Amino acid sequence: MEILWLLLVLCMITAVLVPFLRGRRGGGGIRLASPGSPDAADPETYGFVRQELLDVRLPGPDQDLVDVLHVVQATQEWRAAAQLLAGTPKEGEVRWQRVQAFAGAASLELAARPGVGGAWLRSWRAEAPQDPGAAAVHAEFLVQQAWRSSAVGSEDFRILLEEARDVAAEAAALAPGDPVPHITRLTVARGLGYTPEEFDRIWAELIDRAPAHFGAHLAALHFWSSKWHGSRELADRFATAAAARAPQGSLLAGLPLFSLYDNLPEVNLTPNFYRSAAVTKAVEGALYAVHSARQDDPMLAHVRHLLVLFLVRMERWSEAMHQFVHIDGYIGALPWTEDPDPAAEYAIYRALAVAGYEANGGSPARLLG
């Protein structure tokens, strides 16, 4: 009888602690084998990029941007960046991604070499004060610095975002048809705790310029999910409405998955949460968006990256592996960029997918053949 009681207690402890330890970024508790352990499958057999070579600057391939970033960071000369942005159309998503990448590169440089890194951006702004590309990158750089180097809500955080607000307004004045500075303004609005009415005024200006811009909708969704003014209900309503009015082939059909991710509980106490109807519906919507979109859509990688997190947590190994084949090598997107070590987090999920796939009969020949 004592043994039975002991087993019962152990079962109860397991039932309580295991879900408790399944945090928002913790992978749902599905650690099959640690990467590098004797039981872990080898991602390199699938041609996947080694962890240390993963590119955190970009969500997916953009060779022109990669080449320019190499020149800029190697020489600290900004003119190649200015030329690339000047030749990037204001319509579409590519300009937004390139502005983010340049800002992120400068921010990471500064973090690695305080006071020295990112000098090319400071020179660009000083030597070309009327360049709208320089102003857009500078505004986004300040936003990234605020979230990366300051405690949210602190005085330094507020000062950086107020400066970003002013620089974004300058960038918008220099390029009236460019939606990118207005997207930066949305992020500033979230950080500074704007009222919904103040936010709606910025959103209206942006939507007039780019009604189906995925990056703009992501920034707006983060506002409605924020702890200051948002809630899961508001975020879900916004995402669902955007998905419903999205034109055929638009990745906005996958926006509810981003709303779900934004509002995941820090601690998941719901058994089988990742097999629930709500999660399944959001994942299926994102899969539909991926399959319906143009394969050269620059935002496709963003949806694929978030999909693999959910597919792995749902133990849908084969589908996760097919997404990894498309995105591998680049990790500059949610959910990885929210982790202190994006490459390590991505590599864990990738190793889990490989191990789960092979445990269920998968192989490199079957996936890649």
Residue-wise pLDDT for 111-152, tens only, equals 999 989 999 999 999 999 999 999 999 999 999 999 888 788
Q: What is the pLDDT of residue 228?
A: 61
Asked, for residue 125, whether it belongs to a domain, the answer is yes
pTM over 0.75: yes
Claim to verify: residue 258 and residue 191 sit in the same structural domain:
no
Which residues, at least 6 apart from 327, have a Cβ–Cβ distance to it below 8 Å?
59, 60, 301, 304, 305, 308
Asked, for residue 12, whether it belongs to a domain, the answer is no
Domain termination residue (choose one: 203, 230, 257): 230
Q: What is the pLDDT of residue 184?
A: 97
Which residues, at least 6 apart from 131, have a Cβ–Cβ distance to it below 8 Å?
82, 124, 174
Q: What is the pLDDT of residue 269?
A: 62
Smallest CA-to-CA distance from 345 within 20, 42, 56 is with 56
Whether residue 188 is predicted with pLDDT greater than 80 in this model: the reply is: yes
Claim to verify: residue 26 and residue 38 sit in the same structural domain:
yes
Asked, for residue 10, whether it belongs to a domain, the answer is no
Which residues, at least 6 apart from 235, have a Cβ–Cβ distance to it below 8 Å?
221, 224, 225, 259, 262, 263
Which pair of tokens denotes residue 320? Answer: 């996760």
Q: What is the pLDDT of residue 365?
A: 87
Whether residue 4 is predicted with pLDDT greater than 90 in this model: the reply is: no
Claim to verify: residue 38 and residue 114 sit in the same structural domain:
no
Claim to verify: residue 133 and residue 93 sit in the same structural domain:
yes
Asked, for residue 8, whether it belongs to a domain, the answer is no
Asked, for residue 2, whether it belongs to a domain, the answer is no
Q: Among 149-163, 217-231, 269-283, 313-327, which range has the highest average pLDDT? A: 313-327
Claim to verify: residue 258 and residue 369 sit in the same structural domain:
yes
Domain CATH code at residue 180: 1.25.40.10
Domain termination residue (choose one: 195, 230, 265): 230
Mean pLDDT of 327-346: 95
Claim to verify: residue 285 and residue 319 sit in the same structural domain:
yes
Domain termination residue (choose one: 230, 246, 271): 230
Claim to verify: residue 97 and residue 184 sit in the same structural domain:
yes
Integer Cα distance of 326 and 304 in angstroms: 8
Mean pLDDT of 53-64: 93
Q: What is the pLDDT of residue 28?
A: 45
Whether residue 273 is predicted with pLDDT greater than 80 in this model: the reply is: yes
pLDDT in tens, 75-112: 999 999 999 999 999 888 999 999 999 999 999 999 99
What value does the mean pLDDT of the chain take? Answer: 87
Mean pLDDT of 63-78: 96
Claim to verify: residue 249 and residue 315 sit in the same structural domain:
yes
Claim to verify: residue 57 and residue 72 sit in the same structural domain:
no
pLDDT in tens, 229-271: 667 889 999 999 999 998 889 999 999 999 999 988 776 667 7
In which region does residue 315 sit, left (phi positive, over 0), alpha (psi from -120 to 50) or beta (all else)?
A: left
Asked, for residue 124, whether it belongs to a domain, the answer is yes
Claim to verify: residue 226 and residue 319 sit in the same structural domain:
no
Q: Is there a contact between 41 and 35 (Cβ–Cβ < 8 Å)?
A: no
More confident site: 10 or 149? 149
Q: Picking from 4-18, 102-116, 190-204, 316-330, which range would have the lowest pLDDT averaged per residue?
A: 4-18
Q: What is the pLDDT of residue 227?
A: 62
- Full DSSP string of 74-140: HH---HHHHHHHHTS-SSSSHHHHHHHHHHHHHHHHHHHSTTTTTHHHHHHHHH-TT-HHHHHHHHH
Asked, for residue 280, whether it belongs to a domain, the answer is yes
Q: How many domains does the chain have?
A: 2
Q: What is the pLDDT of residue 42?
A: 78
Burial 226-237 (b: 16+ CB within 10 A, else e): beebbeeebbbe
Asked, for residue 335, whether it belongs to a domain, the answer is yes
pLDDT in tens, 282-328: 999 999 999 999 999 999 999 999 999 999 999 999 999 999 999 99
* Beta partners for residue 163, in sequence order: none
More confident site: 32 or 265? 265
Claim to verify: residue 226 and residue 239 sit in the same structural domain:
no
Integer Cα distance of 229 and 245 in angstroms: 24
Residue 246: enclosing H or E segment and its boundaries?
none
Claim to verify: residue 47 and residue 176 sit in the same structural domain:
no
Q: Is there a contact between 305 and 327 (Cβ–Cβ < 8 Å)?
A: yes
Range of the domain at 136: 63-230
Mean pLDDT of 209-229: 88
